[in-house]
Each structure stands twice: as structure tokens, then as C-alpha cells.
Amino acid sequence: MTSAAVRRQRLSPDERREQILLAAERLFADRSYVDVSTTELAREAGVARGLLNHYFGDKRALYLEVVRRAALLPTLEDVALPTGTLDERVDAAVHWFLASITPERATYLTVRAAEGVGEDAEMREILDSAHDLAAGRVLEMVGGEPGDPAQRAAIRVFGEMARGAIREWSREQTLTREQAHLLLRESLLVIVQTVLPGL
């Protein structure tokens, strides 16, 4: 029995699934959906192609899971609501958003998800749901009204700006992370102080 086979046997199903997802994240961060083959995915994960189908069904389902994981970060449930002044809470909200953005996740949030599998309804649903959850959490953090549709829409629009700042920081390298944080913090502060009260 080869050492690779031994390693495959020693992983639990959850560990194996995670191994495949991490490999897929690496490949899809570098290349578009159509440019990554199932053979490459299996090789990168160190598994037989049949295991990809066993855990995910097909390449599309694996890709959607990669995007889902990236889009739903940062984890909403694991972060306590900030306290302090409005400035401090706004700063904490921006920090919460940026803290979990790796270059790979930035790729899915700003580039690859749009390329993905074309105009895919399931992809759009994943991204819309994630953006709406993040908007609600930001409103909670800054003392807004998460149940107010107009306020939620305003923060979703801010989210589009945030994804642009992430792209400029992580991919284009035209902003540093600190500059992106400053831009987003000051923009969100204006939205919270000036825009939300008028909606």
C-alpha cells in the first residue's frame, strides 16, 4: 500500500471533504472555473477523481461550495457586537469584514464568482444571501435597524464598495490594507451618520 493510500485512509470524511475544498480554493483562486479540470482538482487534493464526485457530485457543485464558503466569511455567529462610540463600532465593523479576507477569498468575492459558471441562478442566490447577511450584521454592529429594508439596501450598496476596495488592496495592490480600512471606515461613518437617518 502506498503512503498516499495510507494518508487517504486515515482521514475522516469531514477531513477529506475539507482537503478537497482547500485544494479547489487554491486552483480556482488562480484560474477561472472553465480552466480548471476535475483531473487537476483531484491531483491537487491528492484523491481519486471518483472521490470528488462522491463528496460534491460534480465540478460545478464543488465550485459553488468554494464560492459559498468565501462569500459567507467572516463568520457571523462568532463575532460579538462591538460596544463604545459610534466611531469605534464603525471601525470594528470594517475590521470584522476585512480581517478574514485572504487573497483567495478576495478573488472569489471580487472576480471569480462573477466569471464562474456564467449567469447562474444558484451562484447569484449564494452571493445575494451572503451580502444580505453581512449587511444585516453591519447594521447590528453600528446601531442601525437590520429589519429596515432601505437601511439594509444602503449597507448592501456599501458592500459593493467594500468589495471594490478589497479588489484594489488584494489584487491590484493600488491600496494597502490600511488604506482600504481607512476608506471603508470613513465611508461607512458618513453612511451611518448622514444617510441612514434620512431613509
Summarize pLDDT for 125-172 with one digit per residue, the tens: 887 888 888 899 899 999 999 999 999 999 999 988 988 888 888 778
Summarize pLDDT for 2-26 with one digit per residue, the tens: 334 434 557 788 899 999 999 998 8
> Mean pLDDT of all residues in the chain?
82
SS3 per residue for the chain: CCHHHHHHHHCCHHHHHHHHHHHHHHHHHHCCHHHCCHHHHHHHHCCCHHHHHHHHCCHHHHHHHHHHHHHCCCCCCCCCCCCCCHHHHHHHHHHHHHHCCCHHHHHHHHHHHHHCCCCCHHHHHHHHHHHHHHHHHHHHHHCCCCCCHHHHHHHHHHHHHHHHHHHHHHHHCCCCHHHHHHHHHHHHHHHHHHHHHHC
Domains of the chain, earliest start first = 3-57 (1.10.10.60), 69-198 (1.10.357)
34-45 mean pLDDT: 91
Summarize pLDDT for 43-96 with one digit per residue, the tens: 999 998 998 999 999 998 998 888 888 776 555 556 677 889 999 999 999 988
